[in-house]
Amino acid sequence: MDYRQSGVDIDAGNEAVRRIKSLARTTFTPDVLSEIGSFGGLFRLPQSGYREPVLVSSADGVGTKLKLAFMSGRHGTVGQDLVNHCVNDILVQGATPLFFLDYLATGRLAPDVAGDVVSGMTKACRENGCALLGGETAEMPGFYADGEYDLAGFIVGIVDRSRVIDGSGLAPGDVLIGIPSTGLHTNGYSLARRIVFDTLGLSFDSDVPEIGTTIGEALLAVHRSYLPIVLPVVSRQLVKGMAHITGGGITDNLPRILPEGRLALIERQSWQTPPLFRFLAEAGDVRDEEMLRAFNMGIGMIVATDERSAQVVLDLIREHGGEGSVIIGRIAEGERGVAYI
């Protein structure tokens, strides 16, 4: 008996690493001091531009959106989802990304699939200006079903301590600006899949006139990065707080940046709910309150600023790719939380 007979193909693993090396190298910045394949990745901290540099880190996954990749055989977009999600999570504190690490675990390693996933990651890393510094590809026979895998990412970014954004200074009258999402992003897929595939019996390629495309295309839409959209206002120190609208929706994510005694008043009619969310709500008979906790409902990032800067911030956001961004509410005195008006 040998290792391959027990389900682990070392040669396939080596082939996957060979492909990943060439992809990852396209993301390297001058501060990367190691190659893919070392026991650890080496990265030199920037030597200028920061008086008191602070590292900001985050880890996340793609969740059951991976099931869509398995159904369709399209594995590149989930890699982009993973990187962009992590970039947004540190962006809300004012950080720009330095490097990214990934973890890919599967029952039986397919180098082509691993290559597609990592290709998506490297595309997003290049777009966000961060290096894919390393990662782990684990073959675990008997642990995952054939053709399935799990995916997680870890990101490290940097911000000057004096420019950390934490929402602590939010005050009554401050304005909340909502930036559109590009779909479900990476949250709510367990509910969406139950509605679409279990209740309605649709297939990945089923056309849905209400949304103008196939349901699979709509659900696989890439989780956008808000870095190029928001960085111009962050660099001008016009942002008092930001919330990445992920699992829990606006209802559970916005309070994470609110100080005690601050209530976010969200004008529910200030933006038009995209057709995909309306379709899911109607098809699944899902209450609006539940939709607002399960999905982003078309708002992927919220930026808080003072009232006198609101128009400047809104114009800059729209100018740099945030078309459709609108003022969706304000900060008021009250018990910390979100109230829809």
Q: What is the pTM of this model?
A: 0.94
**Contact assessment for residue 86 and residue 100, using Cβ atoms and an 8 Å cutoff:** yes
pLDDT for residue 6 is more than 60 = no
Phi first, then psi, for residue 229 (nearest 5°) are -80, -40
Residue given tokens 């684990």 in the structure block = 138
Residue 255 CB coordination number (10 Å)? 18
For the stretch 253-275, pLDDT in tens is 999 999 999 999 999 999 999 99
**CA dihedral defined by 34, 37, 39, 40, rounded to 10 degrees?**
40
pLDDT in tens, 231-242: 999 999 999 999
CA distance 165 to 49: 17
CB atoms near residue 205 (< 10 Å): 11
Question: How many other C-beta atoms can be found within 10 angstroms of the C-beta atom of residue 121?
Answer: 29
Q: Could you give the CA distance from residue 187 to residue 209 in angstroms, rounded to a whole number?
A: 23
Residue 62 neighbours by CB distance under 10 Å: 26
- The predicted pLDDT at position 86 comes to 98
Q: How confident is the model at residue 10 (pLDDT cuts 50, 70, 90)?
A: low
The tokens 């709509």 sit on which residue?
218
Give per-residue pLDDT as tens, 282-304.
Answer: 999 999 999 999 999 999 999 99
Question: Does 29 have pLDDT greater than 90?
Answer: yes
Domains identified in the chain and CATH numbers: 10-163 (3.30.1330.10), 175-340 (3.90.650.10)
What tokens were used for 118? 């990592």
Residue 139 contacts residue 148 (beta carbons within 8 Å): no
Which H helix or E strand runs over 300?
strand 299-305
- Does 5 have pLDDT greater than 60? no
Percent of the chain with pLDDT over 90: 87
Q: What is the DSSP string of 216-227?
A: HHHHHPPPPP-H
Nearest-angstrom CA–CA distance, 94 and 98:
13
Q: Does the pLDDT value for residue 8 go beyond 70?
A: no
pLDDT of residue 14: 73
d(Cα 56, Cα 95) in Å, to the nearest integer?
Answer: 7
